[in-house]
Amino acid sequence: MARPRTLGNCLAPAKLNLFLHVVGRRADGYHLLQSAFRLLDWGDRLSFSVRDDGLVRRLGEVSGVAEADDLVVRAARLLQASTGCTLGADITLTKHLPMGGGLGGGSSDAATTLLALNHLWGTGLGREQLQTLGLRLGADVPFFIFGRDAFVEGIGERLQPLALPPRWYVVLSPQVSVPTAEIFSSQDLTRNTEPLKIADFATGTTRNDLQAVACRRYPEVAAAIDWLAQHAPARMTGSGACVFAQVGSADEAQRIVASCPPQWQAWPARSLAQHPLAHLVEG
Ligand SMILES: C[C@@](CO)(OP(=O)(O)O)[C@H](O)COP(=O)(O)OP(=O)(O)OC[C@H]1O[C@@H](n2ccc(N)nc2=O)[C@H](O)[C@@H]1O
Ligand SMILES: Nc1ncnc2c1ncn2[C@@H]1O[C@H](COP(=O)(O)OP(=O)(O)O)[C@@H](O)[C@H]1O
């Protein structure tokens, strides 16, 4: 059967870090983490069309990201370079996720690109090979290729599946950008949280170790947590700036979103059991 030449309207889902502990530091300065990553059913959208001339093009503008720097373009070129593939692609990216929000948008866009083009180009990499390649683009990319909720360790490369019940969330963007590097380089960051065992994750006390630093430097993040906490326990995801709360139903999520102060943006989101492109790769 002829290989398809297009894939349209592919989801690049957001993620939440249900908790995030900093448990140490590598010799190169990168921090060793433990985290529960959860996929959401909401995210960016991408479409792909194969080109025979080998060019990789992003069609349309993405505010603040030059074409050559875009993680979707970098992901496509990395896949070409590492497999010797001579095909190219036109890629349309429609952003819905706030950038630098701790929702993993750029990493998820890269993962969706690797999954889609590995299929369309017939480059035949397995899931673990794609995860290893993805790590070169960003620490969260392997998780999105893994494609299901995970207990994540190292800087993002050690993944174990987590079985979590379906849930509704409210995600709130305080409309500030929190640079990941600034939070990790803070003198005040807790870097020695006692490592958890995966079995203790559900029963133990967890937090986001980056939250205290982000709240001190960006009071808008603290204000967003305080506002959301009136409705349900609220926490920051990743290095911020977005915050989230688990709620009981779609209706409750909608009610909270509808009452969000006008200076912020909020969305209802549901957990997602599996990445919609997970079936495209073996392993
Ligand atoms: C904190 C997390 C958790 O999901 O998420 P986000 O908030 O970005 O979604 C990630 O580990 C973010 O990883 P990644 O997306 O690769 O981080 P980058 O923006 O490349 O990191 C910017 C800088 O932060 C520092 N950094 C990053 C990750 C890490 N584990 N230790 C670090 O010390 C490094 O100095 C790095 O150069
Ligand atoms: N396709 C993309 N989408 C979002 N950000 C991108 C993309 N390509 C490159 N970037 C760069 O990556 C940075 C981090 O983006 P993002 O992944 O949204 O943050 P986070 O990991 O905090 O959710 C952005 O500020 C932007 O400069």
Spans of all domains in the chain = 6-162, 168-270
Is 156 near ligand 1, meaning CB less than 6 Å away?
Answer: yes
Q: Please provide residue 214's backbone torsions phi and psi, each rounded to the nearest 5 degrees.
A: -65, -40
141: three-class secondary structure by DSSP: helix
Across 228-257, average pLDDT:
98
CATH 3.40.50.300 applies to domain 168-270: no
Q: How far is the CA of 251 from the centre of ligand 2 (A)?
A: 31
Any known ligand binding at 104?
Answer: yes
Single-letter residue type at 241: A
**What is the ipTM score, two decimals?**
0.96
Q: What is the pTM of this model?
A: 0.97
Q: For residue 31, list its beta bridge partners.
A: 25
SS3 content of the chain, % helix, strand, coil (to 5): 30, 30, 40
DSSP letter, residue 265: E
Closest ligand to Cα 157 = 1
The answer to whether the CB of 268 falls within 8 A of the CB of 172 is: no
Q: For residue 34, list its beta bridge partners.
A: 21, 153
Question: Whose Cα sits closest to atom 37 in ligand 1?
Answer: 181
Is 43 near ligand 2, meaning CB less than 6 Å away?
Answer: no
**3-class secondary structure per residue, 185-251:** CCCCCCCCCCCCCHHHCCCCCCCECCHHHHHHHCHHHHHHHHHHHCCCCEEECCCCCCEEEEECCHH
Query: What span, in angstroms and rounded, lies between the C-alpha atoms of 112 and 74?
Result: 12
99: three-class secondary structure by DSSP: coil
Confidence of residue 201 (pLDDT cuts 50, 70, 90): confident
Is 123 near ligand 1, meaning CB less than 6 Å away?
Answer: no
Indicate if the alpha-carbon torsion angle 272, 13, 6, 77 is positive or negative: negative
How close are the terminal C-alpha atoms of the chain, in Å? 22
Q: How far is the CA of 60 from the centre of ligand 1 (A)?
A: 27
Per CATH, the number for 6-162 is 3.30.230.10
Percent of the chain whose pLDDT exceeds 90: 94
Query: What span, in angstroms and rounded, lies between the C-alpha atoms of 196 and 205?
Result: 10
Question: Whose Cα sits closest to atom 1 in ligand 2?
Answer: 106
Active-site annotation, residues: 15, 140
**Got the DSSP string for 45-96?**
EEEEEEETT--EEEES--TT--GGG-HHHHHHHHHHHHHT---EEEEEEE--
Q: Flag whether pLDDT at 1 surpasses 80.
A: no
For 261-274, the pLDDT digits (tens) are: 999 999 999 999 99
Any known ligand binding at 102?
Answer: yes
What is the length of the chain?
283
User: Given the structure tokens 């890629």, which residue do they identify?
Assistant: 91
Q: Flag whether pLDDT at 14 surpasses 90.
A: yes
Which residue among 143, 191, 218, 239 is best mutated to probe the pocket of ligand 1, counting the most ligand atoms within 8 A of its Cβ?
239
